Structure 1
Amino acid sequence: MASIVASKPKIKLDRLLYTHYQHPNLPAAHKFLIDFGLCVAQQTPSRIAYHGFGENPCIFIAEQSPDGYKHFAGSGWLVTSREELDSAVKAHGATQVQTSDLPGEGCFVQMVDPNGIPLRLYHGVELRSPESQPVKAQMPKPVVLNTWNDKPRKGDFQRFDTGPTKVHKLGHYGMVVDSSLFETTVDWYLGSFSLARTDSLYDEGSGKDVMTFMHLDKGEEFSDHHSPPNHVARSFAHHSSFEADNFDSQLVGHYHLQQQGWTNCWGVGRHLLGSQIFDYWFDASGNILEHYSDGDLVNNKTPYGREVAAPDTMAVWGPNVSVAFLTTRMEDIAKGPAGHPPAPVMVIV
């Protein structure tokens, strides 16, 4: 599989746009997403598209489930040129080019990964101009911090609005994949797209990787530590992760979600790999969505890291990882922390 994929030209990705979920109760899902900090970009009776305060016109799609069960319906990516869509069709077996009806429009092709999870590749999407949007969706004022040795904020007070977190963009999503497909899946993503490994965790007994983080390979240009999918055992979306305006906005949103009665999955804490401050929540359907802030940036000069999977590779500080985070089952919240679990088999982009 790896040698076959490697012989094909890689599709050059510009950015991750959105993830797409199907919900058994769309109105309940919508209520959570508004409390989470997303803004409606487009709405029909069966599908709602959302944006943040950034320039991406769509960062999340919630759709009515066709069968009463929740489903992960894939992701959307922006490519660097129209030629990349043609390459996807000719060399990678993508569908023919189609016109998009999502916010920003443009055109797309669709591919399917080794786990049967669809990806749509877009070109010609019209980006948002955040400064021209309603106040709720405009770019927030940057937070200036005074530290012990540097106090740039003089005579200017810190004041924050209550309510949902201000969400900038979709940063990454994590996929749990069957352990038998882990290496095949990683090879497929790395061989098909302009992605590179950032970090991996491996099982000390077998020596095999159980978690891989990948980032967009833009040469010397910096990109997020992970922005494509990350993978675990069984094939499903583990979580989608959204960048918050800043740590204060993230914490304000944490307490807002708590006050609205939503279920905290894990957090607040700081990850080791990627350094993000994380905060994971269950939505109305039982999917996990994350707010994060202060993540690392990497480029082609950043060394690839590989280390043993251990409890302290999950977080630097914060509560012990919950059983529910590992199983992705909301009902497992009652089981509390997981103690010293192995890392799940996961690919994160």
Structure 2
Amino acid sequence: MHVDQGGLTGEHPGRVADPIIKVHDIAWLEFTKPDLVKAEAFALAFGFSVTLRTPEEIHLRGTQAGGPAVIIRRGKRTRFVGTAFAAAADADVMKLADATGHRVHRLPDALGGIAVTLTDPSGQPVQVVSGYDVHAALPGQRTHIYNFGVPRHRVNATQRPPHEPALIQRLGHVVLQRTDYLENLDWYLRHLGLIVSDFLYYAGQRERGPVMSFIRCDRGNTPTDHHTLAMTLGPSNRYVHSAYQVSDLDAIAAGGEHLTERGYRHSWGIGRHIQGSQIFDYWRDPDGFLVEHFSDGDMFDSSLEPGWAPMTASGLAQWGPPASRDFLGVAPSRASLHELRSILSSLRKDNEFDAERLRGLMKVAAS
């Protein structure tokens, strides 16, 4: 165990015994946005590099070798389209397609490779891809020489991290909200072979089961990110945020200064999370979507069982400022108004988000 509190007898095990396949990693996220010029300007300030630019599409990447981290296509409105996960081999794409009755298709020439496109229980497309083009690594952020204790390595020299973009290394994870959380969780575990690192539950409602999970890839003895996907119960099916790894705390802080100087909106941070341990900093893109810089996250192999903890706002971080109203989604905004409408609508439907769950969520925001 990596925490003091584990699962109780009969609680969700956080994995399935015989998944169809086990995905290797997250590959990329896809969005539509009406203004690609504005989207690219923020992406460059946030620390991405552009690998493809057309009037209808941009591809964004990090410095590590790999495919794109984000694909943005022109659309009438800002929308999260879906997630692509990387299969360990072409054979896994074919196996998944055969097991689900879907066809394998070729990805566009700008990507290369093959894919099978499924639909999760919320109705969102999920691609599993392989054989896509891999770009060579780019030069990374300039590293610093630190004087931590002894010996002193930096002598007769100063430390001056410049205000510049925090260069994205790679896509780390995406967080999704679902009205039927358990159904969606089990679908991802069954179809993609993901396993749960941590469960959260509403205080006083543990007997009803978890309401959030931090989910990692199962690569056996090879350590992987504490979470590649996180999923939470809520009144609507939506994107919550996505997270991108950068080199260190200096990159996060100086990169934040760079974003502030260009007028972009900060949401919450800098701090260190509990589940996943990563140093974090959250920003809003020009369309209001939440994105995270992170560094120094936990890496787990498949041997660890899920941890369990109550969900509280104060329990989101080991240190750092209190979770902001913007991050919690309770600050006045178009998005919070939409979520309020979703609450009223969800309570009238047959799903997992009922009046008791709403009370639990309200306690989280007040905690």
- TM-score, normalised by the number of residues in structure 2: 0.81
How many aligned positions are there?
Answer: 326
2:266 equivalent in structure 1:
264
1:25 equivalent in structure 2:
35
- Secondary structure of the residue aligned to 2:97 is helix
Identity %: 27
Q: Is this contact kept in 2: 1:93–1:111, CA < 8 A?
A: no
The aligned amino acid for 2:183 is T
Flag structure 1 segments of 5+ consecutive residues without an equivalent.
131-136, 335-339, 345-349
The aligned amino acid for 2:127 is R
Q: CA deviation at 1:194?
A: 2.3
- Secondary structure of the residue aligned to 1:109 is strand
2:122 equivalent in structure 1:
115
The aligned amino acid for 2:34 is P
1:126/1:201 CA distance change after superposition, 3 Å = same
The aligned amino acid for 1:217 is D
Give, in whole Å, the separation in 2 of the partners of 1:122 and 1:330.
39
Q: Deviations over 1:109-145 (max 9, x none)?
A: 1111111111211111232221xxxxxx413344443
2:176 equivalent in structure 1:
175
Q: Is this contact kept in 1: 2:212–2:230, CA < 8 A?
A: no
Say which of 59, 81, 87 aligns to 1:79: 87
- Secondary structure of the residue aligned to 2:211 is strand
> Is 1:35 equivalent to 2:36 in the alignment?
no
1:200/1:343 CA distance change after superposition, 3 Å = farther
Flag structure 2 segments of 5+ consecutive residues without an equivalent.
1-11, 337-360
2:54 equivalent in structure 1:
44
1:306 equivalent in structure 2:
308
Q: Is this contact kept in 2: 1:278–1:293, CA < 8 A?
A: yes
Q: CA deviation at 1:53?
A: 0.5
Q: CA deviation at 1:11?
A: 1.8
Q: CA deviation at 1:219?
A: 1.1
> Is 1:96 equivalent to 2:104 in the alignment?
yes
Say which of 124, 129, 134 aligns to 1:127: 134
Q: CA deviation at 1:313?
A: 1.7
1:193 equivalent in structure 2:
192
> Is 1:55 equivalent to 2:57 in the alignment?
no
Q: Deviations over 1:170-193 (max 9, x none)?
A: 000000111xx1110111111111
Give, in whole Å, the separation in 2 of the partners of 1:149 and 1:285.
47
2:74 equivalent in structure 1:
64
Say which of 231, 235, 238 aligns to 1:236: 238
1:282/1:220 CA distance change after superposition, 3 Å = same
1:120/1:154 CA distance change after superposition, 3 Å = farther
- Secondary structure of the residue aligned to 1:167 is coil
Q: Is this contact kept in 1: 2:140–2:167, CA < 8 A?
A: no
Q: CA deviation at 1:343?
A: 4.5
Q: Is this contact kept in 1: 2:19–2:193, CA < 8 A?
A: no
Give, in whole Å, the separation in 1 of the partners of 2:17 and 2:228.
24
Q: CA deviation at 1:102?
A: 3.4
Give, in whole Å, the separation in 1 of the partners of 2:40 and 2:310.
39
2:358 equivalent in structure 1:
none
Q: CA deviation at 1:37?
A: 0.7
Q: CA deviation at 1:342?
A: 4.3
Give, in whole Å, the separation in 1 of the partners of 2:364 and 2:102.
33
- Secondary structure of the residue aligned to 2:317 is coil
Give, in whole Å, the separation in 1 of the partners of 2:21 and 2:44.
34
Q: Deviations over 1:258-278 (max 9, x none)?
A: 110011111111111111111
Give, in whole Å, the separation in 1 of the partners of 2:145 and 2:335.
36
Q: Deviations over 1:312-335 (max 9, x none)?
A: 32111122112221228783899x
Q: Deviations over 1:60-108 (max 9, x none)?
A: 111212xx322111112211111111111111243332233334x2121
1:333/1:267 CA distance change after superposition, 3 Å = farther
Give, in whole Å, the separation in 2 of the partners of 1:330 and 1:285.
15
Q: Deviations over 1:5-25 (max 9, x none)?
A: 968742221111211111132
The aligned amino acid for 2:299 is L
1:73/1:320 CA distance change after superposition, 3 Å = same
- Secondary structure of the residue aligned to 2:50 is strand
Give, in whole Å, the separation in 2 of the partners of 1:277 and 1:25.
31
1:273/1:8 CA distance change after superposition, 3 Å = closer
2:252 equivalent in structure 1:
250
- Secondary structure of the residue aligned to 1:174 is strand
Give, in whole Å, the separation in 2 of the partners of 1:328 and 1:40.
34
The aligned amino acid for 2:93 is L
Q: Is this contact kept in 2: 1:322–1:333, CA < 8 A?
A: no
